[in-house]
Structure 1
Amino acid sequence: MIRTNQNPLVSFFKSFTNLNSASWIETSILLIATFGFVALMHMTPVRATPLKLMCSYIYEGKAYKEIYIVDSEQLLVEINYPFAPSEEERNIIESLIVESTSPVIVVARLQTGNSHYFKYEINKVNLEIKTFSVSLVAGVQPMTTRTCKRIKDFPSHQSKV
């Protein structure tokens, strides 16, 4: 008589069932699949990493660079000015109001007064930001388009995410 080494757990479960080996395998697969599905149901969703962009543009003959943090899940857009001339300006972090978001474009605004704001159309695929000045008096005026590149991290940025 040849004796096979069975897993003690298998022996335990087989002792409580009257299944032949074919139906035992089917039952085992079904049981494992059920436990796997239940385990997946309890996993927390994976959170997307916020998009960090270094953007540059030219205004009145002068070059500017800004850092944009775009987090569509948290409805957050922040602008940081790490290359501003003064230390005080370099510490400014402006939070924009997100108006709409899609997989490609985030639209946000920076309110500057009761009758004026700047509108930002952030293209997450082409990595560019179109800006507009919006006021009751002058209407919508297109401004410079910022060309951006994705950056890994910016150590001096203290994000609230």
Structure 2
Amino acid sequence: MQIDDDILAAASALIAKCTANGEMIATAESCTGGLITGALTGVDGSSSVVDCGFVTYSNEAKHELIGVKTALLEQHGAVSEPVARAMCEGALDRAPNASIAVSVTGIAGPGGGTATKPVGLVHFGCAGKGRQTVTYHEVFAGDRHAVRKATVLRALALISEMIDQKKGLGG
């Protein structure tokens, strides 16, 4: 599979940063369907940095694989801040060696959007051992490819920011 050059560049920089800081990554992906993990593993040296990836497209997979509570999914819907938080924390908990986990859940389109959850809405979560979980959301413009690409780039940036958070704490 061909990965866009800008995604490969961001993934390569992140692999180098993780290597330098002794970090390992896990992903919990819904709307990207494994593209974040695919971008990371497209880079030489990724085996020392990538622990595992969970593709949890369905609510059942979110619950069974990474422990997102069914009640949370029913109350807030899969595309929500609480679910993004639970996804990254669940992935971090279940990954054997990861020190950081990122999650994405969103509506890539072209259908599936609503007035309160439009096409392009993506919720992110990033958890790190010994660090505070952060969440973020954005509504990206464009077609399905554009939304998923922007999501991958933002997820890679969130992991980098999480590494900086640890460094800022004297870690």
* TM-score normalised by length of structure 1: 0.30
* TM-score normalised by length of structure 2: 0.28
Q: Which has the higher contact order (CA 8 A, sep 6+)?
A: 2
- Decide which structure has the larger Cα Rg and report it: 1
Q: Which has the higher strand share?
A: 1
